[in-house]
Amino acid sequence: MTAPPGPAGRTAPTRAEPELAPTFSVPPALVDALGPPVRPAGVVLGADPDGEPVAVSLVRPEPTRVVLLGGLYLARQVTLRAVATGTRAVIVTGRPPAWEAVRRAGARDSDDETVRVVGEPPPDLAVPDSPPLLLVHDRGATARGPSPARRAWQTTLVVLPSLVPAVSDLADDADLVLLQRLPPHEAELAGRLWRLTPTMSETLRTLPDRGAVLLGRNLWRRLDLVTGPRETAILGPVRRGD
């Protein structure tokens, strides 16, 4: 059906023309303060089998506990990437030299304490209104784990070289677990602990050096670690062990 002709023989539009948005002006100084809303993407851990990036909200508005079952390489990589997003890191470890490269990489100058490497947790961790904090507990597979995070925007990352019955409760209570390849007896324990399917347990036994699994409540995500040239210069090549 043809629309009736309009003035001067033109065809009238079948629907109203969109109105133009009003114009306004602002001082130049205000323009510098404007920016698009950006939703935090979290810490990128690697890529899934389709090549899509896998990111996780490592430090959250509520106290969080993460368990990393794997090697020192992955623990240092996760810490380095968290620091790159603006998070402070305190590493409690019995092997400070192993973390020195991360401390240097996170420091802007010689007095910068964005990354601190200590032997015991310092007493100033629960300071109100302090920046997001990642507390890395790298003290081996001990029966007694660290104290849980005590405030919002604080995450405790527990680095465990192996999954043994003594730490199974610690791993089971975690909000997130990041796993690298496990030997058969540990993969069997992981299957019982998290009620994994036989296929999932087999995946844990056969992961390559760059492979990992992100595990959480209703979450199972297989990923491959992706390392850029700068990270390789700091941490060396991707590997499973220490």
pLDDT in tens, 10-40: 444 444 444 444 444 445 544 444 444 333 4
Give 69's strand partners.
160, 179
| pLDDT value of residue 166 | 82
Higher pLDDT, residue 99 or 239: 99
| pLDDT value of residue 37 | 38
Residue 111 in tokens: 């007095």
Q: Provide the mean pLDDT of the chain.
A: 81
| pLDDT value of residue 159 | 93
Whether residue 111 has pLDDT greater than 80: no
CA distance 82 to 89: 8
Higher pLDDT, residue 94 or 8: 94
| pLDDT value of residue 38 | 38
Burial 21-33 (b: 16+ CB within 10 A, else e): eeeeeeeeeeeee
Burial 130-169 (b: 16+ CB within 10 A, else e): eebbbbbbbbebeeebbeebeeebbbbbbbbbebeeebee
pLDDT tier for residue 148 given thresholds of 50, 70 and 90: low
| pLDDT value of residue 14 | 47
Whether residue 220 has pLDDT greater than 90: yes
Higher pLDDT, residue 152 or 184: 184
Please name each of the domains of the chain with its CATH number: 43-235 (3.40.50.300)
This prediction has a pTM of 0.79
Tell me the percentage of the chain whose pLDDT exceeds 70: 76
Give 223's strand partners.
212
pLDDT in tens, 67-78: 999 889 999 999
Q: In 3D, which of 20, 21, 67 has the Cα closest to residue 214?
A: 67
Q: CB-based contacts of 17: which residues, under 8 Å, 6+ apart?
A: none
Q: Are 3 and 14 in contact (CB under 8 A)?
A: yes
| pLDDT value of residue 126 | 57
CA distance 127 to 3: 71
